[in-house]
Protein backbone atom coordinates (compact mmCIF):
# COMPACT_ATOMS: atom_id res chain seq x y z
CA UNK A 1 0.00 0.00 0.00
CA UNK A 2 1.16 3.51 -0.73
CA UNK A 3 -0.28 6.43 1.27
CA UNK A 4 0.12 10.01 0.08
CA UNK A 5 1.39 11.83 3.15
CA UNK A 6 -0.38 15.09 2.25
CA UNK A 7 -3.82 13.88 1.15
CA UNK A 8 -3.86 10.47 2.87
CA UNK A 9 -5.18 8.98 -0.38
CA UNK A 10 -3.90 5.46 -0.80
CA UNK A 11 -3.23 2.88 -3.48
CA UNK A 12 -3.30 -0.85 -2.79
CA UNK A 13 -0.92 -3.02 -4.81
CA UNK A 14 -1.32 -6.77 -5.33
CA UNK A 15 1.15 -9.14 -3.77
CA UNK A 16 2.39 -9.91 -0.34
CA UNK A 17 5.63 -10.47 1.48
CA UNK A 18 6.85 -11.16 4.96
CA UNK A 19 9.55 -8.53 5.33
CA UNK A 20 9.63 -5.03 3.89
CA UNK A 21 11.99 -2.06 4.01
CA UNK A 22 12.79 1.09 2.07
CA UNK A 23 16.34 1.58 0.81
CA UNK A 24 18.32 4.81 1.07
CA UNK A 25 17.15 5.75 -2.43
CA UNK A 26 13.50 5.64 -1.27
CA UNK A 27 12.64 2.35 -3.02
CA UNK A 28 10.54 -0.33 -1.28
CA UNK A 29 11.95 -3.87 -1.01
CA UNK A 30 10.41 -7.17 0.06
CA UNK A 31 12.41 -9.84 1.82
CA UNK A 32 10.77 -13.17 0.97
CA UNK A 33 12.91 -13.39 -2.14
CA UNK A 34 14.67 -10.03 -2.29
CA UNK A 35 12.95 -7.87 -4.87
CA UNK A 36 12.63 -4.12 -5.34
CA UNK A 37 9.07 -2.83 -5.77
CA UNK A 38 8.37 -0.31 -8.53
CA UNK A 39 5.34 1.77 -7.45
CA UNK A 40 5.06 3.39 -10.91
CA UNK A 41 4.34 0.05 -12.58
CA UNK A 42 3.06 -1.95 -9.61
CA UNK A 43 5.62 -4.66 -10.39
CA UNK A 44 8.72 -6.08 -8.74
CA UNK A 45 12.25 -5.77 -10.11
CA UNK A 46 13.98 -9.08 -9.39
CA UNK A 47 17.63 -10.08 -9.73
CA UNK A 48 18.35 -10.94 -13.38
CA UNK A 49 19.74 -14.40 -12.65
CA UNK A 50 17.30 -15.44 -9.91
CA UNK A 51 17.41 -14.77 -6.22
CA UNK A 52 19.34 -15.93 -3.21
CA UNK A 53 19.30 -19.71 -2.77
CA UNK A 54 16.38 -20.79 -0.63
CA UNK A 55 15.42 -17.23 0.29
CA UNK A 56 12.05 -16.72 1.85
CA UNK A 57 10.07 -15.64 4.84
CA UNK A 58 12.55 -13.14 6.23
CA UNK A 59 13.16 -9.54 7.00
CA UNK A 60 15.35 -7.46 4.76
CA UNK A 61 17.83 -4.67 5.54
CA UNK A 62 20.26 -2.45 3.65
CA UNK A 63 23.85 -2.30 4.85
CA UNK A 64 26.22 0.68 4.66
CA UNK A 65 27.49 -0.48 1.23
CA UNK A 66 24.10 -0.59 -0.52
CA UNK A 67 23.63 -4.35 -0.20
CA UNK A 68 20.19 -5.72 0.67
CA UNK A 69 20.54 -8.60 3.15
CA UNK A 70 17.93 -11.36 3.54
CA UNK A 71 17.70 -15.01 4.59
CA UNK A 72 18.97 -17.89 2.49
CA UNK A 73 18.79 -21.62 2.95
CA UNK A 74 21.05 -22.06 5.98
CA UNK A 75 22.15 -18.48 6.45
CA UNK A 76 21.99 -15.02 4.93
CA UNK A 77 23.02 -13.34 1.69
CA UNK A 78 22.79 -10.10 -0.21
CA UNK A 79 21.57 -8.51 -3.44
CA UNK A 80 23.07 -5.27 -4.79
CA UNK A 81 20.63 -2.41 -4.19
CA UNK A 82 21.16 -0.78 -7.60
CA UNK A 83 22.13 -3.53 -10.05
CA UNK A 84 20.06 -6.33 -8.43
CA UNK A 85 23.03 -8.66 -8.89
CA UNK A 86 23.01 -11.49 -6.34
CA UNK A 87 26.07 -11.36 -4.10
CA UNK A 88 27.58 -13.71 -1.56
CA UNK A 89 25.89 -15.93 0.98
CA UNK A 90 27.06 -16.58 4.53
CA UNK A 91 26.36 -20.01 6.01
CA UNK A 92 25.28 -19.91 9.66
CA UNK A 93 25.06 -22.90 11.99
CA UNK A 94 21.44 -22.75 13.21
CA UNK A 95 18.88 -24.72 11.21
CA UNK A 96 15.73 -23.24 9.71
CA UNK A 97 14.72 -19.81 8.48
CA UNK A 98 16.57 -16.73 9.65
CA UNK A 99 13.48 -14.59 10.15
CA UNK A 100 15.07 -11.51 11.70
CA UNK A 101 17.55 -9.59 9.55
CA UNK A 102 18.92 -6.21 10.61
CA UNK A 103 21.95 -3.94 10.25
CA UNK A 104 23.22 -2.14 13.34
CA UNK A 105 24.73 1.36 13.50
CA UNK A 106 28.24 -0.08 13.16
CA UNK A 107 27.30 -1.94 9.96
CA UNK A 108 27.15 -5.47 11.36
CA UNK A 109 24.44 -7.76 9.98
CA UNK A 110 22.25 -9.49 12.57
CA UNK A 111 20.35 -12.70 11.87
CA UNK A 112 17.83 -14.32 14.21
CA UNK A 113 16.73 -17.89 13.46
CA UNK A 114 13.02 -18.56 13.83
CA UNK A 115 12.35 -20.49 17.03
CA UNK A 116 15.97 -20.33 18.13
CA UNK A 117 17.72 -19.19 21.27
CA UNK A 118 20.53 -17.20 19.69
CA UNK A 119 21.36 -14.32 17.39
CA UNK A 120 24.25 -14.10 14.94
CA UNK A 121 26.30 -10.95 14.41
CA UNK A 122 28.02 -11.04 11.00
CA UNK A 123 30.89 -8.85 9.81
CA UNK A 124 29.75 -7.69 6.33
CA UNK A 125 33.33 -7.53 4.99
CA UNK A 126 34.89 -10.76 6.26
CA UNK A 127 31.66 -12.73 6.86
CA UNK A 128 33.06 -13.85 10.22
CA UNK A 129 30.29 -14.19 12.79
CA UNK A 130 29.73 -14.56 16.49
CA UNK A 131 26.81 -16.17 18.27
CA UNK A 132 24.95 -14.46 21.10
CA UNK A 133 23.03 -17.07 23.10
CA UNK A 134 20.59 -17.25 25.96
CA UNK A 135 17.65 -15.72 24.12
CA UNK A 136 14.11 -16.88 24.83
CA UNK A 137 12.32 -17.48 21.52
CA UNK A 138 13.28 -14.21 19.82
CA UNK A 139 10.95 -13.20 17.01
CA UNK A 140 11.70 -10.22 14.85
CA UNK A 141 12.04 -9.29 11.21
CA UNK A 142 12.14 -5.54 11.43
CA UNK A 143 14.77 -3.03 12.48
CA UNK A 144 15.62 -4.75 15.75
CA UNK A 145 18.94 -2.90 16.13
CA UNK A 146 17.87 0.66 15.34
CA UNK A 147 20.49 0.84 12.60
CA UNK A 148 17.98 1.62 9.84
CA UNK A 149 17.70 5.12 11.28
CA UNK A 150 20.92 5.79 9.35
CA UNK A 151 18.95 5.19 6.14
CA UNK A 152 16.19 7.71 6.82
CA UNK A 153 15.73 10.35 4.16
CA UNK A 154 13.28 13.22 4.38
CA UNK A 155 12.17 13.43 0.77
CA UNK A 156 8.85 12.62 -0.84
CA UNK A 157 8.94 9.07 -2.27
CA UNK A 158 8.57 8.74 -6.01
CA UNK A 159 5.50 7.05 -7.48
pLDDT for res 158: 59
Q: In Å, how far from its chain's centre is CA 23?
A: 9
Give tens-digit pLDDT for 59-81.
899 999 999 999 887 899 999 99
User: How is residue 26 annotated by DSSP?
Assistant: S
Q: Is the pLDDT of residue 141 over 70?
A: no
With cut-offs at 50, 70 and 90, classify the pLDDT of residue 147: low
Q: Is the pLDDT of residue 142 over 70?
A: no
pLDDT for res 77: 93
pLDDT for res 48: 83
pLDDT for res 55: 65
Tell me the average pLDDT across 124-150: 78
Contacts of 30 (CB under 8 A, 6+ apart): 15, 17, 18, 19, 20, 37, 44, 60
Q: Is the pLDDT of residue 46 over 80?
A: yes
Instruction: From 4, 129, 30, select the one nearest 76 (Cα to Cα).
Output: 129
Contacts of 75 (CB under 8 A, 6+ apart): 89, 90, 91, 92, 98, 111
Contacts of 71 (CB under 8 A, 6+ apart): 31, 52, 54, 55, 56, 57, 58, 59, 97, 98, 99, 101, 111
Give tens-digit pLDDT for 85-127.
999 999 999 877 788 889 998 999 999 888 888 999 999 999 9
Amino acid sequence: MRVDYETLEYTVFNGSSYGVTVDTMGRPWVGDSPQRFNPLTGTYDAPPMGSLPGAGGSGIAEDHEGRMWAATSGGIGWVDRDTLVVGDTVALPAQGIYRGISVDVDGYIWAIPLGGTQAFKVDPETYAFESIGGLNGPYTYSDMTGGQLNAVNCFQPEG
